[in-house]
Each structure stands twice: as structure tokens, then as C-alpha cells.
Amino acid sequence: MARLNDKVALITGAARGIGAAIAEAFVREGARVWVTDLDAAGSQALAERLGPQARAARLDVREEAQWQAVLADVLARDGGLQVLVNNAGISGLEGGAVHNPEQAELLEWRAVHATNLDGVFLGCKHGIRAMRASGGVGSIINISSRSGLVGIPAAAAYASSKAAVRNHSKTVALYCAEQGLKIRCNSIHPGAILTPMWEPMLGEGAQREANLAAFTADTPLRRFGRPEEVAAVALMLASDEAAYMTGSELHIDGGLLAGTAVRPQSGPQEK
């Protein structure tokens, strides 16, 4: 039996990258999946590729009215919601803006938080209501980041927003338990995952290979992660296999948070 049979899932920021990989994994395991994104054409193209189990909708996660409208459509057309993946996010660096703590502009700071944090808040708020209306059972999965656990000098707004997502996930988990709902909430913290946002920084040919090596030099596993590896963890959290997991955070970072992979050049060595 497929692991997500009879479950309806909504994924934000699903037109590409990690969100698209999660949508593919969920459909493969039997879920009916709503592929949502600000990029309406991209979400529609993916839904068409995934087949009749997928629907597409344009969703700007910053807009509460859009959350209400899309989730009303989900409930009307599919009868419930059991899984919500709050994946939509931006780094704020896409347009070349400066994001260090001294020179970041307030408008840029707020723009990152509007998508990364307000979007997750609104998703959780209305996701809980939709799941309550569906029987009070579900799984909310918030995509945070390794950057939400460590400081990032050149991406202060991104790091701050992802740290807040981590904490809010725990708050949501406790609230749902307090309410007597069987709605779980957990966060995933990817680091160094090779998604389209990396491509402009990698270049082509020999330069690309050199940059790949440089970017992963401090990663114990010495490689980028793949979107489907994040999707595998999201699939587990969405399934009934994770029924006793809530308020947890899972790291998918090739060992980055475990410590340095650099070995000392001198001194005592382990036998």
C-alpha cells in the first residue's frame, strides 16, 4: 500500500526545487497533491506532468485572503486536508541586495520575513483550521534551513526568518496537542541542497566543478544534497510512520552541523 493513500496534501513553493521534489514523492505514494506557487505557469506545468492526482493553484503565501481562498477550494474539491508543507521561501539575495546586519535595508528585511515567516504563520493558521474541519488529524511540515540554526553574516534576514520558522513549528506542535488535535508539526532544516537557486553561482564547465568542490569543502559528505533527499524526509513526516513525532527538527545537511570535516595536520591521531 502506498504510504500516503487517501491523504490530501498542499505544498507551497512547489513549482521547482525542493517543493517540486516533495510533490513528486507525495504523488508517487498515493496522495492527492495541490501544487501551489507564485509562479502559476510553473505549478500548472508540474501538476500536468504529475497527472490526475495533482492540481495546481496560484498562491502568494504573503496574502491571507489567498490562503483562505485556496484552502476553501481544497476542502470543496477534495473533501479535506491532511498534509501541509510550508516550503515557499526566498533568500533576499536574488536581486543582489545587501543583507548583512549593518547595511541591510529595512524594506529588504521585511520582504524576506513576509515570505519566509509570515507565509509559514499564515499557512499554519489556516492549515490548522482546514485540518480541524477535516477531522483534526494531519501533518504540518515547515521547511526551515540550516541557516536557521547558525548565523549567516551575509544573509541576516534569511537566517533570522528561518530561525523563527524553527521556533514557530514547536509552538504550533504544542498548541495542537493542547487543543486535543492529532495535528503534528515538525521542521526540516536542509543545508547545501543543489536547487536551481544555486546554478547562477556555480557557472559552467570546469569553473562549475571547481565551485562545487569549494562550496562543499566543509561538508563531511563532500557533496551537495539533492532535492529528492529532502523529499524523502518530508514523505516520512507526512506518513503515519511518524505518528509520534511532533515539535521535532530534522537536519539534512551532509553533516555540516555535526562539526568540521577538516582533520588536524599534526598532533596525536586516533588509532
Active site residues: 158
State the cell numbers at 7. Answer: 491523504
Three-state SS at 249: strand
CB 230 within 8 A of CB 193: yes
User: Taking each helix axis from N to C terminus, what angle separates 17-28 and 40-50, rounded to the nearest 10 degrees?
Assistant: 30
State the cell numbers at 99. Answer: 543583507
Nearest 5 degrees, angle CA 187-CA 194-CA 206?
160
State the cell numbers at 138. Answer: 494531519
Burial (CB < 10 A; 0-12, 13-18, 19+), residue 198, is: middle
